[in-house]
Amino acid sequence: MALSASQLSVGDTHSEVLVEDLKRTQLVQYAGASGDYNPVHTDEKFVTEMAGYPTVFAHGMLTMGMTGALVTNYVGDARLTNYGVRFVNQVWPGDTLTGTAEVTDIREQDGTHLVDLLLTTVNQEGTPVLTGTATARIDP
Amino acid sequence: MAVERFAVEASHIMMFARAIGDPNPVYENESYAQGTEAGGIIAPPTFAQASAQFDPNYRLRPKIGEPWMGSGAEATGIAPKAPDEADDTPTGMGARGLHAEQHFEYHRHIRPGDILSTTVKPGETWEKQSKRAGTLKFSETVTEYRDQTGELVITARSIGVQTEKAVEN
């Protein structure tokens, strides 16, 4: 399941659809599981009347979680050493998100083989919603 | 106040994995997980953020008997609580802020049975100008997650941003 340095090349990519037509209910699930009950994510009355947005929007951390699934599907479980992202644009109910991981470096550090990935998640219009990087331990 | 005790449980991991839409059985099937390199159920990569459930001061969770900014019969005029000195959320941002960046460094992976505690340190603050949102004020927070043996498990770095006005898309 884990990646192997001997079979990887810089420039290799892995893409997945992370979610199709994101449901408001998933934002509720994420609020409940994460403990982040900020009403901008789940309370239509609050977010439109008080906060000035057209509707509820997803937690950035939900998008990070969904993109994280792409990364672990690619590199295997319990292999990540680093994962970091920037939230670039809002994610709204109805969005379809596609994530892509691109190999930017394959290296060795203290006898451990590592892969560095560049991550981009875009919505149905191709607009980036999240960018980031990850590093994972790989097999030789 | 940092989190003193975050008891990691398999059921919480299962519900968190569902919430992020990840059907990977390593997050919910113990017998499957034991047959993998992970050797048992592990938490998904962003699970540490759920430590918010165990922060008694976390401002984005309604507290029983206290006013809450979310809507009831009305949208409410209760302003979000201003950040106070001793307060620290996992994202290190004010109640009107947005989450700009999040970074995790994994020293090992979180597992059910771990009892984590956090140490929270403020980082840098800085400002930028944005066409869409006016003046942006950034602030960084570093959170170290340790287990019951004192071993460092996760180092998290969060950057929050307060916008002058609602971000236009």
Q: pTM of this prediction?
A: 0.92
CATH code at position B154: 3.10.129.10
Cα–Cα distance between A64 and A67 in angstroms, integer? 5
Average pLDDT over residues B65-80: 84
Look at residue B168 and tell me if it is in a domain: no
pLDDT of residue B165: 65
| Sequence-distant (≥ 6) Cβ neighbours of residue B122 within 8 angstroms | B88, B92, B139, B140, B141, B142
Helix (H, G, I), strand (E, B) or coil at A62: helix
Say which amino acid occupies A50. M
Look at residue B85 and tell me if it is in a domain: yes
ipTM field: 0.97
Q: Measured between beta carbons, which residues in chain A are less than 8 angstroms from residue B45?
A: 65, 68, 71-72, 80, 83
Residue of B99, B108, B128, B138 to mutate, testing the A interface (most A Cβ within 10 Å of its Cβ): B99
pLDDT tens for each residue of B92-111:
344 467 889 999 999 999 99
Question: Is B106–A38 a contact, with Cβ atoms under 8 angstroms apart?
Answer: no
Residue B166 has pLDDT above 70, yes or no: no
Q: How far is CA B62 from CA A126, B2, B69, in A?
A: 36, 18, 8
pLDDT tens for each residue of B16-58:
999 999 999 999 999 999 999 999 999 999 999 999 999 999 9
Top CATH class, A5-138: alpha beta
A contact residues 36-75, partner B, Cβ 8 Å cutoff: 36-39, 42-43, 45-46, 49-53, 59-62, 64-66, 68-69, 71-73
A102 touches chain B (CB under 8 A): no
To the nearest 10 degrees (0 to 180), the angle between helices B10-19 and A24-34 is: 150
Residue A11 has pLDDT above 60, yes or no: yes
Say which amino acid occupies B88. D
pLDDT band at B86, cuts 50/70/90?
Answer: very low
Residue of A4, A18, A36 to mutate, testing the B interface (most B Cβ within 10 Å of its Cβ): A36
pLDDT tens for each residue of A48-97:
999 899 999 999 999 999 999 999 999 999 999 999 999 999 999 999 99
pLDDT of residue B77: 59
Residue of A38, A70, A90 to mutate, testing the B interface (most B Cβ within 10 Å of its Cβ): A38
Cα–Cα distance between A70 and A33 in angstroms, integer? 20
Question: Both ends of chain B: CA-CA distance in Å?
Answer: 35
How many residues in chain A? 140
To the nearest 10 degrees (0 to 180), the angle between helices B10-19 and A60-75 is: 100
Question: Is A33–B103 a contact, with Cβ atoms under 8 angstroms apart?
Answer: no
Q: Measured between beta carbons, which residues in chain A are less than 8 angstroms from residue B25?
A: none
Look at residue B15 and tell me if it is in a domain: yes
Look at residue B107 and tell me if it is in a domain: yes
Q: Look up tokens 């968190």; give the residue.
A: B16
- The two most distant CA atoms of chain A are separated, in Å, by 56
- Name residue A113's beta-bridge partners: A108, A138
Residue B128, min C-alpha distance to chain A (Å) = 15
For strands B6-7 and B115-130, give the pairing. Answer: antiparallel
Cα–Cα distance between A57 and A55 in angstroms, integer? 6
Q: Measured between beta carbons, which residues in chain B are less than 8 angstroms from residue A87?
A: 98-102
Q: With the CA atoms of A71, A72, A75 and A78 taken in that order, what torsion angle do they form, in degrees rounded to the nearest 10?
A: 140
Look at residue B1 and tell me if it is in a domain: no
Look at residue B58 and tell me if it is in a domain: yes
Q: Measured between beta carbons, which residues in chain A are less than 8 angstroms from residue B99?
A: 59-61, 87
Residue B132 has pLDDT above 80, yes or no: no
Residue A7, min C-alpha distance to chain B (Å) = 20
Residue B167 has pLDDT above 80, yes or no: no
A60: nearest CB among B21, B71, B99: B99
pLDDT band at B90, cuts 50/70/90?
Answer: very low
B166: nearest CB among A36, A52, A87: A52
- Report the number of distinct structural domains present in chain B: 1
- φ, ψ of residue A109 to 5 degrees: the values are -140, 115
